[in-house]
Structure 1
Amino acid sequence: MPTQTLYPRSTLKKILKAHTGRPLSKNVDILVFLNYALFMERLIREAGIKGKEGGERTISARGVRKVREGELRRFKG
């Protein structure tokens, strides 16, 4: 079964090029996705830790809000 892409690669590349105004590598869309996946993993992990410190059993929106700014700073290029 062929794999299905969730987005047209060329569209994402056009958006990135318009945003940065710089030439892009051939696989820039894959790198952006991997960075996003790492960000989400780290955000969820840190939100879970913060929630447990606060006595919560699950990850909540409050826990995500508490760690969001720090993780955004960490992943900013």
Structure 2
Amino acid sequence: MAPSTTLYPRATLKKIVKAHSNRPLTKNVDILVFLNYTLFLQELMKEASIKSKQSGERGISARSVRRVREHCLRKFKG
């Protein structure tokens, strides 16, 4: 698979955020949203890994992700 020049559709993301916020947006708001999303996923996987090891599982399962989902969502609510 060849590397893409863009990681996500910037214009589409800006339109979605603008439609939900009804506020003026800065030029790079899409980059900040994307970075916040990647940090959220990183934290979710880290917490799920810890929870699965505590439960004695070999790897990360959907159940371990579900257990930590609410906690991680609250941290990134803003």
Report the count of equivalent residues: 76
**Match of 2:39, as an amino acid?**
L
* Structure 1 match to 2:5: 4
**Match of 1:24, as an amino acid?**
L
Deviation of the 1:9 alpha carbon: 1.5
Deviation of the 1:34 alpha carbon: 0.4
**Match of 1:25, as an amino acid?**
T
The 5-angstrom pairing of residues 21-40 of structure 1 reads: 21-40=22-41
Structure 2 residue matching 1:38: 3-state secondary structure: helix
**Match of 2:33, as an amino acid?**
V
* Structure 1 match to 2:46: 45
**Match of 1:33, as an amino acid?**
F
* Structure 1 match to 2:19: 18
Identity %: 69
Question: Separation in 1 of the partners of 2:57 and 2:26?
Answer: 43
* Structure 1 match to 2:75: 74
TM-score by length of 1: 0.91
Q: CA RMSD in A?
A: 1.5
* Uncovered stretches (5+) of structure 1, i.e. residues with no partner: none
Q: Say yes or no: does 1:61 pair with 2:62.
A: yes
